[in-house]
């Protein structure tokens, strides 16, 4: 009803040329419970693969070709407006990720404008962007088999500190279309600082000696305990079905309390 009142303020020409920008993507999880119930199916309840879409913005253009926003998603990173396209009991693999994305992209290619008719009539074209992706999906899309290699420039972890060489690398522009997730960036930066702090005594990226491993584990346990006591955060703990306890809320609280986090991790 509210949106219909908004649409009435637009001319018939504007209502016939609306565009809805949406983001979509897919992700998988495993470790789900398997119940002792008789059933006639051959799929694995342990794994789930989810494909979803989130509307972001509905807009048109006025007589001066200036953009007019009709509706804006107030919380684009929230699940409030997230809608499932597909739910599958199947393990997340590179081949299935590629098949799922190809299937949805074909549906998008055949997608026709949505027609709405009540007291007002409008036509909405759709623009969908594949940007709800994590590292596994990005690697599958770009056929990157080395998870320690950048999907944009192809640099490996031992080449990251050579800034001059990085600036001269060729860029894979198709990878840039996948966007940058602020939430994932926040979490990954948070985890990067944690791992640096864990290894601050040994100062090595890879540790093979038992003495170094025990030193890292001892410091890790101490840091986890301090975060639990001072900020009430549970960090680096596996959670059944969806990775670890290092989620967006944990990362935000880590950076919101920067001075406390710095004193615990020993990072300035």
Dump pLDDT digits (tens) for 138-183: 999 998 888 888 888 889 888 888 888 888 899 888 888 888 877 7
Q: Can you give the pLDDT at residue 148? A: 83
CA distance 250 to 180: 20
Question: 77 pLDDT band (50/70/90 cuts)?
Answer: confident
For the four alpha carbons of 164, 168, 170 and 175, in that order, the dihedral sign comes to: positive
60-64, 202-206, 259-263: range with highest mean pLDDT: 259-263
- The mean pLDDT of 230-249, rounded to a whole number, is 82
Give mean pLDDT, residues 44-54: 90
Kindly list the domain boundaries of the chain, sorted by start residue.
2-141, 144-180, 181-265
What is the gyration radius of the CA atoms in the chain, in angstroms?
A: 23
pLDDT at res. 3: 64
- With beta carbons less than 8 A apart as the criterion, state whether 129 and 121 touch: no
- Whether the CB-CB separation of 265 and 236 falls below 8 Å is answered with no
- Residues 198-217: pLDDT tens digits? 999 888 878 888 888 899 99
More confident position, 240 or 65? 65
226, 232 in Cβ contact below 8 A? no
Which residues pair with residue 115 across a beta bridge?
123
pLDDT score of 2? 46
pLDDT 10s digits, 79-124: 899 999 999 999 999 999 999 999 999 999 999 999 888 777 888 9
């Amino acid at each position: 009803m509210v949106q219909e009142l908004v649409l009435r303020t637009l001319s018939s020409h504007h209502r016939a040329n609306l565009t809805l920008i949406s983001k979509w993507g897919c992700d998988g999880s495993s470790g789900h419970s398997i119940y002792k119930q008789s059933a006639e199916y051959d799929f694995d309840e342990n794994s789930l693969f989810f494909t979803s879409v989130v509307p972001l913005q509905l807009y048109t253009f006025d007589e001066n070709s200036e953009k007019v926003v009709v509706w804006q998603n107030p919380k684009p990173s929230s699940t409030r407006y997230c809608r499932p396209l597909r739910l599958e009991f199947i393990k997340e693999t590179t081949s299935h990720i590629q098949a799922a994305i190809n299937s949805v992209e074909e549906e998008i290619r055949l997608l026709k404008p949505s027609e709405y008719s009540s007291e007002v009539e409008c036509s909405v074209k759709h623009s969908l962007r594949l940007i709800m992706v994590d590292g596994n999906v990005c690697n599958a899309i770009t056929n990157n088999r080395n998870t320690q290699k950048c999907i944009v420039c192809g640099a490996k972890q031992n080449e990251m500190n050579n800034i001059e060489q990085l600036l001269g690398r060729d860029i894979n522009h198709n990878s840039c279309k996948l966007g940058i997730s602020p939430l994932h960036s926040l979490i990954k930066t948070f985890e990067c600082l944690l791992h640096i702090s864990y290894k601050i005594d040994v100062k090595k990226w890879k540790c093979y000696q038992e003495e170094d491993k025990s030193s890292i584990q001892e410091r890790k346990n101490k840091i986890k305990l301090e975060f639990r006591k001072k900020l009430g955060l549970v960090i680096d703990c596996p959670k059944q079905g969806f990775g670890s306890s290092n989620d967006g809320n944990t990362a935000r609280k880590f950076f919101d309390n920067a001075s406390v986090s710095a004193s615990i991790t020993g990072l300035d």
